[in-house]
């Protein structure tokens, strides 16, 4: 079965408040439990802010390091999930359900890509 990487994209300058809505964590926990029991979820996590990141670039035979935050970047990967699904349609379904749990006033995007095997 193919594996898919769902990268959750956020605008760090527009992060939601620290206090999530009362039922958000319960709904997210229930979905993560369901997707894990279904044998789909292989791994998932949120990522630390870009202020704690380092970019490493290879160019013209040299490595260059840039410490975050990256002011030129508006949208960043804020988390990820690796899922094993029967097809892309199933991966899209789980990703849609994940996004729909978030409050309507938040802007959260996901980029879904199949992991190349072999």
Provide the β-strand partners of residue 56: 65
- Mean per-residue pLDDT, 53-79: 90
The label of the residue with tokens 């996590």 reads: 45
* CA-based nearest residue to 41, from 91, 99, 109, 116: 91
> Mean pLDDT in the chain?
91
Going from the N-terminus, what domains does the chain have, and what CATH number goes with each? 3-14+21-114 (3.30.70.1060)
* CA-based nearest residue to 41, from 83, 91, 6: 83
Predicted model pTM: 0.86
- Mean per-residue pLDDT, 92-118: 93
Angle (CA) 107 110 36, round 5°: 115
The pLDDT, as a whole number, for residue 36 is 96
Position 70 confidence tier, pLDDT thresholds 50, 70, 90: confident
The pLDDT, as a whole number, for residue 16 is 67
- Residue 18's SS3 state is coil
The pLDDT, as a whole number, for residue 105 is 84
- Mean per-residue pLDDT, 58-72: 91
**Confidence check: pLDDT of 17 > 70:** no
The pLDDT, as a whole number, for residue 20 is 77
């Amino acid at each position: 079965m193919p594996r898919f990487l769902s990268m959750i994209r956020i605008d760090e300058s527009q992060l939601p408040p620290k206090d999530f809505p009362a039922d958000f964590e319960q709904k997210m926990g229930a979905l993560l439990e369901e997707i894990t029991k279904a044998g789909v979820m292989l791994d998932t996590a949120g990522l630390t802010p870009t202020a704690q990141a380092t970019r490493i670039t290879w160019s013209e035979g040299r490595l260059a390091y840039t410490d975050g935050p990256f002011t030129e970047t508006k949208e960043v990967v804020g988390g990820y999930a690796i899922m094993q699904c029967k097809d892309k349609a199933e991966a899209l379904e789980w990703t849609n359900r994940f996004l729909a749990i978030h409050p309507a006033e938040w802007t959260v995007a996901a980029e879904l890509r199949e992991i190349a095997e072999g």
